[in-house]
Structure 1
């Protein structure tokens, strides 16, 4: 495995030094707390890749969608990073301690990003970690983080795990010129939508997958895509400060599209049999924000200038939302968001 490239070294250093604003995550009751793990590792060229999953088709929420490993907190004493690591262990088999990792591997907790607000009224804390790969040894002459660590999946929760080029979440096209020409579909699509009276940028990335970047789950035994690859079919320093440019120097589009239909959130056909896996919504937004911090630059496409949803989480708590009892099917509505926006904090 190659050493980190200079750009990757700077990205890791920026994330390591980043300190988020005080979070409202700890003001959320237990049933409203969740965390996700942004696990980064170096590929053979020394560039960073990030680990993502495809949720199982049988899940109640977000079935078949791409997501970061993560889930709800178990106790009030559990930190966001502990929640994210535990969920990553349950979903993709990532060991909970370095002692249980393959020899030479190590996970460093780099930072935590501002909490995001899920549509289901959860405060979601992104936790960033770096998976250090060991140098070649007689027992492992060619260490490969994806191959050595990712194929152990819980098929009840995760249908597949795949990896994506981290820096590419700041770009409008595939960085790999060959993939642009040979893999059907395009890397990025985006548009402004009205989300309860606010302009919200919907990012949609389509990540090319290959036999070495995706692993499929089986009911009892996880299987690498080296045994079964997707079928070709059509298918989302000084301490760094957060970039504040409203839209990477570009003017905001004059037209805001209407709210997305529910059908947008479903996958047509088998999500695992696509040449690209769609990453969109909150997961895509988290990836863009994390890359902004890591590489110290704004994306080529337009995006929301605010970082996370700390302000809105505080406002919702102020008006009595995000209560300890979570009701079935509870979702944010236009009236709730308007009331929260007008709340004094």
Structure 2
């Protein structure tokens, strides 16, 4: 799926909250691994947050999945307008900052997707699968990914041209692989589909690995999937398909997202001021080292869950 920006805007639709049932969803073709992926995402529950975040520094992105003709899952990605002040022309997920009128963080993600690409907020057409744990962005925001599935294949994007130049789709499973899901063009033969580099972390303990995936559209000016967007998509794919990528996701001794967020809340002046303005004491944020132990325990739980999912998959 790919489309160019137009001038129209979609009106706000009623926000329904029916419970999503995969078995009764109007999906004509679905591969067994795609069905398992949707089941895993639907049953996923993010760990309980031990920190209070200032709302003015919160944001959300909408990870919008749909089923392709052959039963595979794809995600919609946006090419940001070249005139934007930040991240001009980057490949990203629809999303933005929390607004005081938003009912919750899911509403934030859906509202931004409505404003950017005209995706209806109607849950009967685009049901919620799950909400992930938050990620720390370089823009001093705490970003929550909200994962949804398009059920209505008659929906057509209406792009907000000042913000979005175009949208396109990318296979969800490809975020678990080093090899490209598309034929390599001659001018791209020397370019690797997946690459990564490790950067210093502000906490001075360990490094953070930054991932980069080609889109197959680089010859036309589309930038690779990079940084926060890539990290979110790796996480969504790993949860959905119940396996880790064929590359190393984390740098040695990489701090968890929770540890990085805790460090930012305690030390970053922007976060501290926002917290104090909302009556939150940043000095009461748990010590970042607390989350190193919690992260190790969580990884053990992920491993146990992976073994359970493999047993389920073997019975399909």
Q: TM-score, normalised by structure 1?
A: 0.65
**Partner of 2:42 in structure 1?**
16
How far is the alpha carbon of 1:2 from its aligned partner?
4.7
How far is the alpha carbon of 1:66 from its aligned partner?
0.8
Alpha-carbon distance between aligned partners in 1 of 2:102 and 2:240, rounded to the nearest angstrom:
29
1:286 to 1:98, Cα distance in 2 relative to 1, 3 A: closer
Q: Which moved more, 1:192-201 or 1:85-94?
A: 192-201
How far is the alpha carbon of 1:75 from its aligned partner?
1.4
**Partner of 1:149 in structure 2?**
156
Secondary structure (helix, strand or coil) at the match of 1:19 reads coil
**Partner of 2:87 in structure 1?**
62
Secondary structure (helix, strand or coil) at the match of 1:162 reads strand
Paired residue for 1:203, among 205, 208, 211?
Answer: 211
Secondary structure (helix, strand or coil) at the match of 1:107 reads coil
**Partner of 1:45 in structure 2?**
70
How far is the alpha carbon of 1:3 from its aligned partner?
1.1
Paired residue for 2:198, among 163, 168, 192?
Answer: 192
How far is the alpha carbon of 1:280 from its aligned partner?
0.4
Question: Which one has the bigger helix percentage?
Answer: 2
**Partner of 1:295 in structure 2?**
241
Paired residue for 2:134, among 79, 104, 115?
Answer: 115
The number of residues matched between the two structures is 248
How far is the alpha carbon of 1:149 from its aligned partner?
2.2
**Partner of 1:86 in structure 2?**
111
Alpha-carbon distance between aligned partners in 1 of 2:36 and 2:187, rounded to the nearest angstrom:
30
How far is the alpha carbon of 1:344 from its aligned partner?
7.1
Find out whether 1:284 has 2:309 as its counterpart. Answer: no
Q: TM-score, normalised by structure 2?
A: 0.71
Q: Which moved more, 1:108-117 or 1:301-310?
A: 301-310
How far is the alpha carbon of 1:9 from its aligned partner?
0.4
Q: Which stretches in structure 2 are left out of the alignment for 5+ residues?
A: 1-26, 276-285, 292-316
- Render the CA deviation track for 1:63-118: whole Å, top value 9, x for unaligned: 1111100000101753111000000000001112257xxxxxx2110111110011
1:109 to 1:309, Cα distance in 2 relative to 1, 3 A: same
**Partner of 2:149 in structure 1?**
130
Paired residue for 2:184, among 173, 180, 187?
Answer: 180
**Partner of 1:318 in structure 2?**
266
1:24 to 1:287, Cα distance in 2 relative to 1, 3 A: farther
Q: Which stretches in structure 1 are left out of the alignment for 5+ residues?
A: 100-105, 134-142, 210-233, 236-272, 327-339
1:16 to 1:319, Cα distance in 2 relative to 1, 3 A: same
How far is the alpha carbon of 1:325 from its aligned partner?
4.5
